[in-house]
Amino acid sequence: DQQVKQNSPSLSVQEGRISILNCDYTNSMFDYFLWYKKYPAEGPTFLISISSIKDKNEDGRFTVFLNKSAKHLSLHIVPSQPGDSAVYFCAAYSGGYQKVTFGTGTKLQVIP
């Protein structure tokens, strides 16, 4: 049962443009949603999170939007930079279970 889904395995974007990474979830009980970035041969690095009671959180070039009715969240990166090229994982945290569930990841390539 895949509770967190990232349906796009890859995305290519031109440098300077907006990157939009999408994520869907099935469990309405998640308390927080997080985005992690992963470079090859490294562990995931925390990027940004959003509470389930919010609909937007912004941190510099990164903004996460949450649409609870659609059980959908997205990560916007503006402007995209070549250093943003990595695999991005969407994740959801349940305080009741004290666990994080990860999606399968989207590989972002930012083309100079």
The contact set with another protein (CB under 8 A) reads 4, 9, 31-32, 34, 36, 41-46, 49, 51, 89, 91, 93, 95, 97-105
Smallest separation, CB 60 to another protein (Å): 17
Cβ partners under 8 Å of residue 74, min gap 6 = 20, 21, 22, 23, 64, 65
Smallest separation, CB 22 to another protein (Å): 15
What are the counts of helices (DSSP H) followed by strands (DSSP E) for the chain? Answer: 0, 11
27/16 Cα distance (integer angstroms): 35
Nearer to another protein, 16 or 58 (CB): 58
Nearer to another protein, 17 or 46 (CB): 46
